[in-house]
Amino acid sequence: MKVAVVGATGLVGSKMLQVLEERNFPVTELIPVASEKSVGLKITFKGKEYTVVSADDAIAMKPAIALFSAGGSTSLALAPKFAEAGCRVIDNSSAWRMHSDIKLVVPEVNGGVLTKDDFIIANPNCSTIQMVMVLQPLHKKYGIKRVVVSTYQSVSGTGQKAVQEMMDERAGGDGFGVYPYRIDMNIIPQIDVFQDNGYTKEEMKMVLETCKIMGDDAIKVTATTVRVPVTGGHSESVNIEFHNDFEESDVREILSNMPGVIVVDNPAMKAYPMPLDAEGKDEVFVGRIRRDYSQPNTLNCWIVADNLRKGAATNAVQIAKYLHAQGWVE
């Protein structure tokens, strides 16, 4: 199977290559794609060296699947061209997520919405992915009325330059201006640009994507997204109001039985999820599970995941594996 990775030299693109290899995805020929300045570079995959090519050359090579992580404008321009050539595109940008005819997929949550006619498939926002992995089984049992989420998102979510900027600041430098303020020893309560309603674009992604993935526009979501000086791994404080009451023990059991979710919740042993624990792992970790006593039928929890893996690369590869398992790509 010919597989293209568009944005192969970037932070997420590199992680996609790693996950493809780890999960033994049946790649017979890798087609690494990047910007013109990177064309000609060499990439090693499964012990074999491949040359980075342009998008036009990649399309001519007729890949079966293309994993995109090259930004929204690139996806808008190139995804239809790959799709027209018979290639199934799994796009990690926000370009296609809210298009009414494009599926937005977390395989464990709503993989069943995919059909053989889907040639452009959207990978959700990293913070949304880890949250809906916890919300979906609880929604099925209790019915979710409202979600209040505050995120603590690592600098790797912004890219390689942001990671280097934080390290440069930590070493006494001035950084490179990736963020509007110093990030090391600081917290910035803004991710992406502000919208007319006072929310940032990142916050509105969480609001809109959650309802689309879970197939329920009646769920009310409000979000505050925050950048913190952590290299990798996103954390979220989530307050969930249900239509029906619950027992904490039942919640823990439901989440323990959700594929891809690991419950780490033992306050007596100081056991709770942290970004360092999630680093390099594909699961979503949840803890600090407790009733909100300020109002009925409401739960608090703490959700952590590796934003480059389940939040991006792993989810995309899982979608690809689903397509392959259905016999839609070969």
**Is residue 330 in some structural domain?**
no
**CATH value at residue 120:** 3.40.50.720
Are 192 and 102 within one domain? no
Are 101 and 205 within one domain? no
Contacts of 271 (CB under 8 A, 6+ apart): 264, 265, 287
Are 116 and 86 within one domain? yes
Q: What is the pLDDT of residue 176?
A: 77
What is the pairing mode between strands 261-263 and 298-305? unpaired
Number of domains in the chain: 2
Q: What is the pLDDT of residue 129?
A: 98
Are 275 and 224 within one domain? yes
Q: Whose CA is closest to 12, among 281, 231, 276, 314?
A: 314
Are 81 and 184 within one domain? no
Are 245 and 175 within one domain? yes
> Cα separation of 17 and 189, whole Å?
32
Q: Residue 227's CB: how many other CB atoms inside 10 A? A: 24
pLDDT tens digits for the chain (330 residues)?
Answer: 999 999 999 999 999 999 999 999 999 999 999 998 999 999 999 999 999 999 999 999 999 999 999 989 999 999 999 999 999 999 999 999 999 999 999 999 999 999 999 999 999 999 999 999 999 999 999 999 999 999 999 999 999 999 999 999 999 998 779 999 999 999 999 999 999 999 999 999 999 999 999 999 999 999 999 999 999 999 999 999 999 999 999 999 999 999 999 999 999 999 999 999 999 999 999 999 999 999 999 999 999 999 999 999 999 999 999 999 999 998
Are 321 and 202 within one domain? no
Query: Which residues span the domain enclosing 67?
Result: 2-124+312-325
Are 155 and 297 within one domain? yes
Are 160 and 247 within one domain? yes
**Is residue 258 in some structural domain?**
yes
Active site residues: 126, 234
The values of phi and psi at residue 3, to 5°, are: -125, 125
Q: What is the pLDDT of residue 174?
A: 84
Q: What is the pLDDT of residue 314?
A: 98
- Give the pTM: 0.96
Are 143 and 59 within one domain? no
Q: Residue 174's CB: how many other CB atoms inside 10 A? A: 9
Are 164 and 292 within one domain? yes
Q: What is the pLDDT of residue 147?
A: 98
